[in-house]
Amino acid sequence: MLNRRSFTKVAVAGAALSMAACAGGKMAKKDGKTVIVIGGGSAGATAAKYIKKADKSINVILIEKNKTYHTCFFSNNVIGGISDLESIEHSYDGLMKNHGIDVMHKMVSKVDAANKMVVLSNGDKLAYDKVVVAPGIDFKWDSIPGHSEAASKNDIPHAYIAGNQTQILRDQLVNMKNGGTVVMIPPTNPFRCPPGPYERASLIAHYLKKHKPKSKLIILDQKEKFSKFGLFKQGWKREYKNVIDWRAKSKGGQVKHIDTATKTIKTANGKTIKADVINLIPAQKAGKLAFDSGLTKGDWCPINFMTFESTLHKDVYVVGDAAIAKKMPKSGFSANSQAKILAIQLVKSLNGKKTMANTRFGNTCYSFINPDYAISVTAAYKGTDKQIAKTSGGLSPMGANATERKALAGTAREWYKGITSDMFM
């Protein structure tokens, strides 16, 4: 609890709270309980909003390093030239104005769970009653020999955390000659947005087919199969037969080495490929903050499947891509769905009430083959002691006709408005 003692001790938190109290005038009491949410993506933004909605007396502080947020979902539309970067950019104004959440744009160095403090990179400390950690993903830079974080900055973009990286990949495609070779290297499992690389391949192919028809896209996969496999393969056969060349790991896909300076790739089966543009999406792990705060076991963060509280530290919750929320895929939709349940459970626990024993979740991932052709996978889930179990779901039908595929593309665009409104408004 942010009592008088810690209030005077923790200057930054004090300033932040009194500011919020003045701005909103809605703060029930200055000595209310404090929940800090770290990370303003799909998981964090939703958690902050729904915690505040559940109990307005809680001081909710959202700490996010960037001033605006670019959604990873729909960033493939930017890469494919269908929309621009601004169309996926969102501000935190809605969370501040509509909900009275105190948004701070700061870097966090770690959560000090023993002392219930969030430590900022400038050394300031903020006391919390409960903290939500939603750091998203980080990359394993050495997952492909020869690759490095430095190479990813400008030359070999991952474009898998949206924003500047998205624009770099887009610009490289625009500047590429007609007749160029684009190589995409998707990661091993598990990773954020399982259909993401394959939707991206589709929309890059859409761009090449239209503007640079002599060009090719080779996908060197580090796996044998991927999400919505049948639907993507069907779509590619229909739309991009002469553009996309997908190679499974065992059939020439496995990459042995990459020379990032010359954009030359050596595969495990002895082939050398010279590329003009490379989109290498490295293997992934939980965001750095999770590791620095002692919240990981292996690459990701173990949680209680009913509440999202870390199994390693009390009063610390982990949600979204960084959490082990098996069997849910790591997606923006999953993160949003999880965050709403987390909010209910966290507020109940904070107010000394029994947490819910029955929890439900949903996830739908829409993928574009082109702007008039979408496919989807939907599932519903239920929280249990051992996992978040799938209860129903399925794919959009292989037999969908052109009208239905176009209608689904329209639904996908409406879905984007829905989820971003649920996160930020």
Partner 1 sequence: MRVFVWISLLMSLFYVTSCSTSGAGNSAKNTAPVAKQASYDRDYASMLSGSCTTCHIQGAKNTSKIPAIHGMEKEILFEILKAFKYSEYESGTMEKIAKTFSDEELELMSYYFAEQK
Does 337 participate in binding partner 1 (rule CB under 8 A)? yes
Does 227 participate in binding partner 1 (rule CB under 8 A)? no
Which residue in 56, 257, 382, 406 binds partner 1 (CB under 8 A)? 382
190 preceded by a cis bond (ω within 30 of 0):
yes
Query: CB of 361: closest distance to partner 1 in angstroms?
Result: 7
Does 273 participate in binding partner 1 (rule CB under 8 A)? no
Which residue in 344, 349, 371, 387 binds partner 1 (CB under 8 A)? 344
Residue 81 or 362: the one with the smaller Cβ distance to partner 1 is 362
Residue type present at position 22 = C
Asked whether 359 and 389 are in contact (CB, 8 A), the reply is: no
Measure the CA–CA gap between 153 and 167, rounded to whole angstroms: 12
Spell out where 248-396 has E strands: 255-259, 264-267, 272-274, 277-280, 284-286, 316-318, 360-370, 373-383, 388-395
Does 361 participate in binding partner 1 (rule CB under 8 A)? yes
Six-digit token string for 204:
């890059």
Q: Which strands sit side by side in the sheet containing 244-247, from one edge to the other? A: 244-247, 216-220, 181-185, 277-280
Judged by CB under 8 A, how many residues of this single chain contact partner 1? Answer: 36
Residues 301-330 contacting partner 1, CB under 8 A: none
Residue 98 or 242: the one with the smaller Cβ distance to partner 1 is 98
Q: Is 108 helix (H, G, I), strand (E, B) or coil?
A: strand
Token pair 């819910």: residue: 356
How far, CA to CA in Å, does 54 sit from each of 13, 19, 27, 60?
22, 22, 14, 11
Does 179 participate in binding partner 1 (rule CB under 8 A)? no
Residue 99 or 212: the one with the smaller Cβ distance to partner 1 is 99
The alpha carbon torsion through 22, 28, 32, 33 (nearest 10 deg) reads -100
Query: CB of 58: closest distance to partner 1 in angstroms?
Result: 17
Site string for partner 1, 23-42 (x = CB under 8 A): --------------------
Does 396 participate in binding partner 1 (rule CB under 8 A)? yes
Stretch that binds partner 1, among 119-127, 185-193, 305-313, 353-361 (CB under 8 A): 353-361
Does 97 participate in binding partner 1 (rule CB under 8 A)? no
Does 333 participate in binding partner 1 (rule CB under 8 A)? yes
Query: CB of 352: closest distance to partner 1 in angstroms?
Result: 15
Q: Which strands sit side by side in the sheet containing 264-267, from one edge to the other? A: 255-259, 264-267, 272-274
Measure the CA–CA gap between 208 and 215, rounded to whole angstroms: 6
Does 356 participate in binding partner 1 (rule CB under 8 A)? yes
User: Under the rule (CB under 8 A), what is the footprint of partner 1?
Assistant: 333, 336-337, 340-341, 344, 356, 358-362, 364, 376, 378-380, 382, 391-394, 396-397, 400, 404, 407, 410-411, 414-415, 417-419, 421-422
